[in-house]
Amino acid sequence: MDRIVLIGLNHKTAPVEIRERFNIVCLDSRVPLSDLARVRSLKESFYLSTCNRMEVLCTTPKLDEGINAVVGLLAEIYGQTGAALKPYLYIYIDQDAVKHLFRVACSLDSMVVGEPQILGQIKDAYRRATEAKAPGVVLNRLLHKSFSVAKRVRTETRIGSSAVSISYAAVELARKIFGELQGKTALLIGAGEMAELAAEHLISNGVERIVVANRTLERALALARRFNGSTVPWEELAEELRKTDIIISSTGSPELILTGEQVRKRMRARRNRPLFFIDIAVPRDIDPEVNRIDNVYLYNIDDLQGIVEINRAERIKESARAEHIISAEALKFDTWLRTLEVVPTIVSLREKAEQIREAEIHKTLTQLDSLSAGEVEAIHVLTRSVVNKLLHDPILFLKRTSTRPRKDFYLDVARKLFHLDEDQPETEQGEDQLSLDSDKAS
Amino acid sequence: MVNEPLFLLSIITTVLYSVGTVGYLIYVVRTDLVIHRIAYTFLLAGFLCHSTGLALLVGQIKQMPVTTLPQTFSLFAWAIVGSYLAFQLKFNIRIFGTFVSPLAVIFMLLSSAIPSRIIPTSQLFKSFWLTLHVTTIFIGNAIFALAFCAGIMYLLQEKQIKTKSFGLLYRRLPSLETLDSLNYVCLTFGFPLITIGLISGFVYAGAVWRSIWHWDPKEILAVITWLIYAVLLHERLAVGWRGRRAAIMAIIGFSVILLTFVGASLLLKGHHSFRFG
């Protein structure tokens, strides 16, 4: 039987210099996929690469040969020997491989546990893989299963329900203040990296306009261009408070940039529409007094960090429940995998019986041409039910065989007993999935 | 004279409202749509039962059911639940029910706790103007009860965001913006209703007593209530009073309504006092 193998590296096993190598290779070509397809010892394959991980998932009839081939190929991409790469790699086989894939899809293996992007990345990688026809019956089923497991984990646990990064926490708060962010304006004061990240999240959550204020105009212009926004002169910063809703401040300024009085004065012109200040600068940019003004909310970096810590702790608690779901689903997948070996035998058994039945019916009907259509139908029904009743127990036996340790023996006996292997080809007309499998095998 | 079927209906109504309220309270702890649906259904069933009871009562006494204090409380509970059900259909803020349904139960319990005696029918209570007065005042006040609940929800949520300490309710309560606009919607529906209510009251008083103003404590309080909401609406439209201040005003406004409604009837004397005992 084919083995499922997963070979990969992630942020825990490999430093960024190695991870980025694979990421670059993956981004500018489809080389790994086509290379994998050319490896003869592999039947099916799937390749995933993100900034934090690289995973090769494949099935192979010969375990050692398959693993060596994949490691060799990866070493080639990395431009090193297999031995140099091996310390960074993990290799999972069968159940462990299945579990690992599920954990990755559910974002339990991510740097930030519960982050939602990874599932989308797997789906993209899977789409590319199917375009290259790399996965077959087993991997198709396995990947689809991983999507549904991820969905189940997401709905049944609270692993992804709370923000665990500062910028997400800020967006979540903004939504609790403003409701929908559609049509809102955000003002970036200073141009720190974290501010940029927060602005990105705000935009993807509906914020419409970004205005940038920075002491150096070039940087302001560059940022504004990036977000398709506008700039405002540093001196008119306070005036901008009339028009904006969310302020993200991250300057390196040693003194306060906006005082409570400046903000208070503008609230009337705003007709008291809420203002949300996110002050991620150290030392702080915004006067803490601002938080006392009605309809004004101020969060500094520590406040946001506090929310993130609480949410992280909750996610870790929830991940135990997710692991439980994953183990159960991996077991289910294993059961399915085992029936797969039995299925071709059951299919050929049914086909043989049907062939015999049709041949005999044909013989009989050519002799009895006076029968009415109803009577012909009755004979069909009769013979079909005889065949079905007769096959019922052997098929049930075969299905149960799938979980027996000596299933190969039983399968062999069954095929010999019903003489399934000599005069007719095995399966082919089975379900689509099966024909795919035998295509690859042949 | 105790009317058996009416008494039974009012008990069933109270029980249905109470079960609905318990459901809504459970919903706070376990955010489960099924629990919300059950609670909502109980409230709806209670409302239908309540409506039947009120219709029978009106059929019997042939006038608005506001002749005794228990009737008044019961009618007010009915108006609150009715307006809540309508708001829920429109805005679907599920946690709202957790705050509104206890109010209905309180008024139902008050209604049954106070002994009632149906007084002989008085010609005074049969007039178009009086019917209009009672209907608009009750629905308007019920909508202000909703604004009161929205105000409390706003203050709870705002406090959590301001002080940066997040409890169970933080996740459950909607955004400040939603709660504030809920307050505003209540104001825009409630204010015209109580305005009509006041005017029709004056017209009725003018017709019956030949003078529209009697320095009756309830009249004075009612005008104060109207002024509070008038100020709130005006400031909101003119300078943008919103959020915390609007929430506090809605709470104060409803407190004055309660004082008008309960306090003035029980403690003060005047032609608006509901007879009981």
- A288 and A358 in a single domain? The answer is no
- A28 and A106 in a single domain? The answer is yes
pLDDT value of position A53: 87
Question: CA-based diameter of chain B, in Å?
Answer: 59
What is the domain count for chain A? Answer: 3
- A178 and A136 in a single domain? The answer is no
- Determine, yes or no, domain membership for A326: no
The three-class DSSP label of residue B175 is: coil
With an 8 Å Cβ cutoff, are A294 and B162 in contact?
no
Out of B157, B174, B242, name the one closest to residue A272 (CB).
B242
> Domain boundary residue among A127, A145, A161?
A161
Determine the Cα angle at A224 with ends A222 and A225, to 5°.
65
pLDDT value of position B277: 29
With an 8 Å Cβ cutoff, are B245 and A294 in contact?
yes
Is position A51 annotated as part of the catalytic site? yes
Nearest to A165 by CA among A280, A281, A287: A280
pTM greater than 0.90 (yes/no): no
> Domain boundary residue among A274, A309, A344?
A309
Nearest C-alpha in A relative to B177: A178
pLDDT value of position B276: 37
- B195 and B263 in a single domain? The answer is yes
Q: Are A249 and A191 in contact (CB under 8 A)?
A: no
With an 8 Å Cβ cutoff, are B161 and A177 in contact?
yes
Contacts of A112 (CB under 8 A, 6+ apart): A164, A165
- B88 and B136 in a single domain? The answer is no
- A368 and A426 in a single domain? The answer is yes
The three-class DSSP label of residue A91 is: strand
- B230 and B264 in a single domain? The answer is yes
Task: Give the full edge-to-edge strand order of the sheet including A90-93.
Answer: A44-50, A53-60, A3-10, A90-93
Query: A423-432 contacts: CB < 8 A, separation 24 or more?
Result: A424/A348, A424/A351, A424/A352, A424/A355, A426/A344, A426/A348, A427/A344, A427/A347, A427/A348, A429/A347, A429/A351, A430/A343, A430/A344, A430/A347, A431/A343, A431/A347
- B276 and B166 in a single domain? The answer is yes
- A15 and A87 in a single domain? The answer is yes
Phi, psi of A279 (to 5 degrees): -105, 100
- Could you say which of A26, A51, A58, A106 is catalytic? A51
**Tokens coding A394:** 């052997």
pLDDT value of position B33: 80
**Tokens coding A132:** 């290259």
- B152 and B267 in a single domain? The answer is yes
> Domain boundary residue among B116, B151, B178?
B116
With an 8 Å Cβ cutoff, are A272 and B243 in contact?
yes
- A10 and A146 in a single domain? The answer is yes
Closest chain A C-alpha to B163 CA, distance in angstroms: 9
Per-residue pLDDT of chain A (442 residues; tens, 9 = 90+): 688 999 999 888 888 888 877 776 555 445 567 777 777 888 888 988 887 888 999 999 888 999 998 888 888 877 778 788 888 999 999 999 999 999 999 988 888 777 778 898 899 989 988 888 888 888 998 999 999 999 988 888 877 767 767 888 888 899 999 998 999 999 999 877 777 888 888 888 889 999 999 888 888 888 888 888 999 998 888 889 999 999 999 888 888 999 999 999 998 888 889 999 999 888 889 999 999 999 999 999 899 888 888 888 888 888 888 999 999 999 999 888 877 778 888 888 999 999 999 999 999 888 888 888 899 999 999 999 999 999 999 888 888 877 777 777 788 788 888 888 754 344 433 333 433 444 443 3
> Domain boundary residue among A135, A161, A187?
A161
The amino acid present at A309, given as its one-letter code, is E
**Residue B162 at interface with chain A, using a CB cutoff of 8 Å:** yes
For residues B264 and A262, what is the distance between their CA atoms, to the nearest angstrom? 47
Q: A161: which DSSP letter?
A: S
pLDDT value of position B152: 96
* Four-point Cα dihedral A340, A346, A352, A355, nearest 10: -90
- B265 and B171 in a single domain? The answer is yes
Q: How far is CA A421 from CA A413, A415, A418, in A?
A: 11, 7, 9
- B155 and B110 in a single domain? The answer is no
Q: Are A26 and A49 in contact (CB under 8 A)?
A: yes
> Which residue's entry shows tokens 């649906």?
B37
Nearest to A407 by CA among A397, A392, A416: A397
pLDDT value of position B111: 84
- B107 and B36 in a single domain? The answer is yes
Strands A246-249 and A53-60: unpaired
pLDDT value of position B124: 59
For residues A382 and A164, what is the distance between their CA atoms, to the nearest angstrom? 65
Residue A214 sits in a domain whose CATH number is 3.40.50.720
- A33 and A56 in a single domain? The answer is yes
- Determine, yes or no, domain membership for A325: no
pLDDT value of position A437: 41
- Determine, yes or no, domain membership for A367: yes
Tell me the residue range of the domain where B139 lies.
124-277
Q: What is the pLDDT of residues B60-91, one digit of tens each?
A: 877 788 777 788 889 999 999 999 999 988 88
- Determine, yes or no, domain membership for A319: no
Tell me the residue range of the domain where A29 lies.
3-161
Q: How many residues does chain A have?
A: 442
With an 8 Å Cβ cutoff, are B243 and A274 in contact?
yes
**Residue B170 at interface with chain A, using a CB cutoff of 8 Å:** yes
Contacts of A276 (CB under 8 A, 6+ apart): A173, A174, A177, A178, A245, A246, A247, A296, A297, A299
Q: B274: which DSSP letter?
A: P
Out of B161, B177, B240, name the one closest to residue A179 (CB).
B177
Burial of A160-198, coded b for 16+ CB within 10 Å and e otherwise, reads bebbbbbbbbbbbbbebbbbebeebbbbbbbbbebbbbb
- A297 and A348 in a single domain? The answer is no
> Domain boundary residue among B83, B116, B149?
B116
Split chain B (277 residues) into runs of 10 and give each run's mean pLDDT.
75 94 90 86 95 89 79 91 92 90 91 66 68 91 95 95 88 91 94 94 83 79 91 89 91 91 64 47
Rg (CA), chain A: 31
Q: Are B90 and B146 in contact (CB under 8 A)?
A: no
Nearest C-alpha in B relative to A306: B164
For residues A310 and A318, what is the distance between their CA atoms, to the nearest angstrom? 13
- B269 and B190 in a single domain? The answer is yes
- Determine, yes or no, domain membership for A73: yes
- B109 and B246 in a single domain? The answer is no
Q: How far is CA B156 from CA A34, B88, B175, in A?
A: 59, 20, 11
> Domain boundary residue among B116, B134, B154?
B116
Nearest C-alpha in B relative to A291: B162
- A269 and A405 in a single domain? The answer is no
For residues A289 and A183, what is the distance between their CA atoms, to the nearest angstrom? 28
- A236 and A141 in a single domain? The answer is no
- Determine, yes or no, domain membership for A258: yes
Residues of A with CB under 8 A from a CB of B: 173, 175-180, 268, 270-274, 291, 294-295, 297, 299, 303, 306-307, 310
What is the domain count for chain B? Answer: 2
Residue A111 sits in a domain whose CATH number is 3.30.460.30
Strands A44-50 and A53-60: antiparallel
- A344 and A416 in a single domain? The answer is yes
Q: How far apart are the first and last CA of chain A?
A: 15
Out of A176, A180, A307, name the one closest to residue B176 (CB).
A176
Q: Which residues of A touch B30 (CB under 8 A)?
A: none
Q: How many residues does chain B have?
A: 277
- B178 and B221 in a single domain? The answer is yes
- B88 and B215 in a single domain? The answer is no
Q: What is the ipTM of this complex?
A: 0.85
The amino acid present at A417, given as its one-letter code, is L
- A188 and A278 in a single domain? The answer is yes
Q: Which residues pair with A210 in a beta bridge?
A: A186
Q: Please count the other Cβ atoms lying within 10 Å of the Cβ belonging to residue B114.
A: 17
